[in-house]
Structure 1
């Protein structure tokens, strides 16, 4: 792409979207590694990972609002808006279908693409208003979420609002409350940047670096990048597991779990030897594969415990 075209665009805004996509890719790769049991990170539940995911979602939603101003401040371009809205809605439906086939009960009912589609529609009127209204409403929605705490509506049908009475179990859940808040903050900031001539500072240099151009390219194609990066990462990890690139994951996870429980009351080295012995004896007794297939089977767990007690004896 010619340098002139790059400098005419707000390349630093594209770069910011590219960085957000990189952070999302890091999170999703970590989630994939955890899902397959390659690492012991609690990506789905640990507070640090949850805050990381919230920061990523917040940055995306803020940039959605900021981009609305860039596209429609001088007059809403309805044809372009509905064309983009249709692409996002179709992509959101595709994500729902694919995740339902893969994750069943954890499928994406209202993920970030669903939220972007609805929030874009709700935030559009604020684009034509002074920044004060968008900033005030955005901050109010976030404050409302923090203030409500555990309060919920007694109707699960309103799960998309974020006030559902049942905890949503999903691999991606981005409800309107509080995520409409960052979108409106983005609208307000975008209006300030445009109103006071600050957009010129987002154009970057006439000769941007290779790294800047690379992230900006991904940022300009954020929807395609979002849709493709996780299938690629998930598929690559799956291929690695299938090819044995990560070693015997089941054996490693069993020994680690066994060691954690045993070492609470027994010497660590003795536990390590007992856990290795248990896994070996289970394989010889032809119950190893059955245990991995049915880890909650009480009969198999009883057999495992008996083998472990024998291995633990000095």
Structure 2
């Protein structure tokens, strides 16, 4: 067992790897969306790359929430449950607010398929809803299975209402650029909590890993992973700016 430092480099490394996958997928998505290339993004390898990046982000988020709680308990914060919960509430509100900014931007530029409940909205809601699950161990695998099964059940179904869009009840005719409902994705986050409670019990790494400085690529991925939220928030404007400056994209197409 290894006493924790401020961050675990292997978690940042995986998060950085997810960022690289996301950047690659979204750049190809932009090329396809604006007719600059003909790429089958909704099937085969490219679909797995996009979903794989999201899966890693959400799994790691659950692990990070677990580690954060373990460290809070170790610092004696557990005696103030209201204060402890407020931390998750503030984080959730911040992430959801960032998601709403994305909603506003996509509503302006892509009104026919703007983002109502994308991955940032998901992270905002799940950061709050995850709180009561943080104390559980193997039970979270059962909860995760439930969310996964419900997600599969709802995957190809549509409904005549939109109030439960955030859960996974897709309205008829619903089209969006990004959609991460709680069914099934909250199950992935719960799996991450299980891994955090098992592999980083008490906020301490329960296994040995070499130092990141010994490997160039993991070290680079770790640095990228530390700034994943910022990169996610700004990468699409940067991509669009790059395409416009290169002359490939006419600003009138936006």
Deviation of the 1:196 alpha carbon: 8.9
Kept in 2, the 8 Å contact 1:85–1:117? The answer is yes
Deviation of the 1:227 alpha carbon: 0.5
Deviation of the 1:33 alpha carbon: 1.3
Deviation of the 1:52 alpha carbon: 2.8
Select which of 1, 9, 34 maps to 2:32: 34
Q: Distance in 1 between matches of 2:106 and 2:155?
A: 29
Q: Report whether the alignment pairs 1:63 with 2:70.
A: no
Taking a change above 3 Å as real, the CA distance of residues 193 and 231 of structure 1, as seen in their structure-2 partners, is: same
**1:191 match: secondary structure:** helix
Kept in 2, the 8 Å contact 1:9–1:203? The answer is no
Q: Distance in 2 between matches of 1:216 and 1:228?
A: 19
The residue correspondences of 1:1-314 to structure 2 (distance < 5 A) are 9-43=7-41, 45-73=42-70, 74=73, 75=78, 77-78=84-85, 80-129=87-136, 131-148=137-154, 150-195=156-201, 199-201=205-207, 204-205=210-211, 207-242=213-248
Kept in 2, the 8 Å contact 1:68–1:187? The answer is yes
Kept in 2, the 8 Å contact 1:142–1:181? The answer is yes
Query: Computing the radius of gyration over CA atoms, which structure comes out larger, 1 or 2?
Result: 1
List per-residue Cα deviations over 1:118-151 (Å, max 9, x = no partner): 112111211112x112111011210222245544
Identify unmatched segments of 5+ residues in structure 1.
1-5, 245-292, 294-314
**1:128 match: secondary structure:** coil
Deviation of the 1:82 alpha carbon: 3.7
Taking a change above 3 Å as real, the CA distance of residues 243 and 184 of structure 1, as seen in their structure-2 partners, is: closer
Kept in 2, the 8 Å contact 1:17–1:60? The answer is yes
Q: Which residue of 2 aligns with 1:249?
A: none
Q: Distance in 1 between matches of 2:212 and 2:58?
A: 28
List per-residue Cα deviations over 1:87-143 (Å, max 9, x = no partner): 3122111111111111111111000000111112111211112x1121110112102
Kept in 2, the 8 Å contact 1:145–1:178? The answer is yes
Deviation of the 1:165 alpha carbon: 3.4
Higher RCO by CA contacts (8 Å cutoff, separation 6 or greater): 2
What is the TM-score when the length of structure 1 is the normalising length? Answer: 0.68
List per-residue Cα deviations over 1:56-92 (Å, max 9, x = no partner): 2111111111110010132474454344323312211
Q: Distance in 1 between matches of 2:25 and 2:143?
A: 30
Pairs aligned (count): 238
Taking a change above 3 Å as real, the CA distance of residues 167 and 115 of structure 1, as seen in their structure-2 partners, is: farther
Deviation of the 1:51 alpha carbon: 3.2
Identify unmatched segments of 5+ residues in structure 2.
none
Q: Distance in 2 between matches of 1:146 and 1:96?
A: 26
